[in-house]
A and B are shown apart, each in its own frame.
Chain A
Amino acid sequence: MLWLCIQLPKLPLEALTRAHRAGDTVPLAVTQSNLVIEANLAAGNHNIEPGLSIATACAYCAELQLLERDSEREEQLLRQLAQWAYSFTPVVSPRSAEQSKSQQDNNPACLYLELSGSLKAHGGLAPLLLQLGKELHKMRVTHFMGLGHSPSAAHLLSQLPEHRQWLAETGTAPSPQQWRQWISFAPSKLLDCSNKAIAKLYASGIKRVSQLLAIPLSEVGNRFGRNFIDYLARLNGTRPDPVASYQPAPEFHSELFFPSPLDNSEQLLFPAGRLVRELCRQLQRRQLYSPQLCWVLNFGSRGTQEVNVALSRPLFDPQRLIALTKLQLERVELPEPVQALGLKCQQLRPLEAQSLREDFFDEGSTLHDTYQLIDKLKARLGHQALSGVTLKESYLPEQAWASADSLTLQSRQRGHQLAPVSAPRPSWLLSRPDKIHQRDHRLFYDGELQLLQGPERIDGYWWQHHRHARDYYIARSEQGSLYWVFQDLTSEEWYLHGVYS
């Protein structure tokens, strides 16, 4: 087993400011019960650091922006990161920040990843660690890592500067002896236990883990309790160290929060691009695709609005997805400033080799162009503005066709098995029959109509309540137009139903 612990020390700040562009220089501080708990770089330049009271911090820097800590958003970001990590390894365990009543006792959130099973797929440990670090950086998430034979050991080592430096330099897995050595050299304040217990350790003169391990376990147990012994055993590797494994739903959900709401849909494109890139990286690794993107514009207390972008085929090119999103967002009138932008893809589907092959080798680029065009048209005109037609089996002329999804363009194999009637049918059908005026047994529609052919009797559904009995004729108008007209046999009224155009 090879466990990686990724510590996320600045999650409270990043959950609120990840949407910012790099180089944003507004000093920001996250506060909780009147204390600063995290500050960004710009605020740090004004000597604002965790632990200051709000009053002091504001005195240091007048234009400091204060943000209330939002645990819910932190949880959400942690879940998003677990989902991201899951695309690297199937064994992922997120651990949220533990907030106890005393402010000092605050363990940052972290992620545990079991790596031994996925080394081969990523070309070894060093490239994998590099990739993880690069993507976290792209997502603007501050982090540091530690490797260990158990989650507890990895957690401890991730806090040890020597280990981190060694990891960055060599990028290889250390031997078990090396691990034990590091652990025993570690200062006991790094142990994953309450501040109270650590204070007790220091009071007894135990400054290094090695000193603690030298004491017989029974004595340690008497002083610090069974849980502590258990923890030491897990740290040592003498006892299994189980962590709750994370099982992601087959969906993608990520959100960016804007501390200062955006009131212009154009400004949404930059954060949208960031979300789309996150989506594409994860989908590609998990061999999934999404048939649609669902953008959630969050107006805070004033509700949300969804904007959908339908895709007719697996698409992983962030540029194209953003172009399609842009077409949709351009048409959105923002009723309120947007506080957060979310991207939700709920029906991720496994990528079949067949669909890819069709895309790249079959028929070459025309099919590719077709999908691209349909996506574009759907994005701007809306799904309902596109349609196709198919045949349907029915006696009634108005039911002999059906509006089809434009996606039937994809299914080239499924031809129409239905054969149409052999009688000449008009190329246009009126959406509802238009009444023809009748005078002295003559028919008038833009002038007098002359019947050329007929009747063709269509008498269907006589067993139903509404009997449809009609005699159809081909008629010619004075201007030479050919019409498809019928007489309703029950009411004896005449109607225009189609045009031989």
Chain B
Amino acid sequence: MQNNQLSEPSEKQPLQQLLSRPDIWQLASQQRQLRTGISTGYRGLDALLSNRGWPRGATSELLLDKGGIGEISLILPTLAEMTRQNRMVVLIAPPHIPYAPALVQAGVRLEKLLILHPRGQRDQLWAAEQSLQSGACGALVSWQGKENPADKDLRRLQIAAREGDCLHFHFRPGSCASAPSPASLRLQLRSDGEQLAIQLLKQLNGRSGQRVHLPRSPNLTRRDQPLH
């Protein structure tokens, strides 16, 4: 009797353990899955993502070749929400000056924004890892420099993001799409006329390959003013 009682739960356990693993995708749970991610602010994109939002405590890679197609607008609602929740947002080595009037227009609380300019890739990776795992940051945005970071470095950042429960957005050139990456989510960004075309390259516990188009703000693209 005693033996039976003991062995019963331990028989159940491995299956449950297996099912609770984040890297096992269950078709049955797809429909009733609740939002465990952080909303992107775009309903169309949320619907594609397996957690109904950006994966928590993980790296999301954003691959694009040419800036100015709306790549910051894609993450800006999330960053603004983070600062409103009194959490710090860190930008590491942004390509240009983050323009304060635009950030305030988007609802970012500037006093929660920290911009880092480390010299060299080693310092850059160090700063990213420290910030991610500190537990002080809500989100961290980093840009890949000239050098391609090694696979083990990307893995370390992914682990640091999990430790510090921090959203990590990593901008990389489109050419990195063919190389494997430990990131939880990989999105290819392109411009499709006046829309941002997003292709889902990879997501943990979810399907990939879908596309979604997000229109740019009509404030920017309408032509109601006389030209020149």
Contacts and interface: CB of A to CB of B under 8 A. Distances in A.
Contact of A401 (B95, B97, B192): B97
B117 to A, nearest CB: 5
B166 to A, nearest CB: 11
A372 B136 contact: yes
A452 interface: yes
Interface string B68-106: 111111001000000000111000001111111111111
Contact of A481 (B68, B222, B228): B68
Bin chain A's interface residue count: 35 or more
Interface string A389-411: 11110000100111010101101
Given A386-B114, A415-B111, A430 B225 contact: no
A482 B220 contact: yes
A373 B133 CA distance: 10
B105 A420 contact: yes
B110 to A, nearest CB: 6
A460 to B, nearest CB: 15
B24 interface: no
Contacts of B96: 428-431, 498-499
Nearest to B76: A427
Interface of B: 66-73, 76, 86-88, 94-106, 109-119, 123, 126-127, 130-131, 134-137, 191-194, 216-217, 219-225, 227-228
Contacts of A346: none
Contacts of B97: 389, 401, 428-431
Given A381-B123, A386-B114, A483 B68 contact: yes
Nearest to A387: B115
A425 B193 contact: no
A249 interface: no
Contact of A479 (B71, B191, B228): B191
Interface stretch (A29-37, A166-174, A362-370): A362-370
Interface of A: 363, 365-366, 369-370, 372-374, 376-377, 380-381, 384-392, 397, 400-402, 404, 406, 408-409, 411-412, 414-416, 419-422, 424-431, 446, 451-455, 473-474, 476-477, 479-483, 498-501
Contacts of B123: 380-381
A389 B221 contact: no
A409 B88 contact: yes
B67 A501 contact: yes
B69 to A, nearest CB: 5
A341 B135 CA distance: 34
B225 A366 contact: no
A498 B99 contact: yes
8 contacts: A365-B135, A377-B131, A384-B117, A389-B103, A389-B115, A392-B100, A474-B221, A481-B68
Given A387-B115, A426-B102, A428-B99, A366 B135 contact: yes
